[in-house]
Structure 1
Amino acid sequence: MLGWALTFLVIALIAGIFGFGGIASASAGIAQILFFVFLVLFIVAMVARAVRGRPPT
């Protein structure tokens, strides 16, 4: 998931450099959404692991 967010971020940066504003805006929006989804899933996984009693590796 984080890899996809980084991919769309790179696409947005490249499109922004070449002047494709619409594509850059759309890619940046997708990257932002994917990053926040990744962040929420990561926090949920850490809380679930802590509740089960296993220490992080």
Structure 2
Amino acid sequence: MVLFLLLVLAAVILGIIGVAAAGLGYLLFIGIAVFVLALVLAAARLSGRTKRRTLR
């Protein structure tokens, strides 16, 4: 969970810098990519937890 929050925070910061600074629009796209990566990692962790449970 900490990794997810750090990745989301980094994505937000990169996005803000990419929008605010002239000529650094590529940081916005990097921020979007980091955010998507964070969502994929969170989804993988959640799906992995549900598969390990067995019904009794």
Q: What is the TM-score with the length of structure 1 in the denominator? A: 0.64
| Cα root mean square deviation, aligned | 2.1
Instruction: Give 1:5's aligned residue.
Output: 7
CA contact (8 A) 1:11 1:27 kept: yes
Contact 1:5 1:35 in 2 (8 A): no
Aligned residues: 52
Q: Which runs of 4+ in 1 moved over 4 A?
A: none
- Correspondence for 2:45 among 26, 41, 45: 41
Aligned letter for 1:28? I
Q: Unpaired segments of 5 or more residues in structure 2? A: none
Structure 1 residue 14 and structure 2 residue 19: aligned?
no
Amino acid at match of 2:16: I
Stretches of structure 1 lacking an aligned partner (at least 5 in a row): none
Task: State how far apart, in whole Å, the 1-side matches of 2:32 and 2:13 are.
Answer: 8
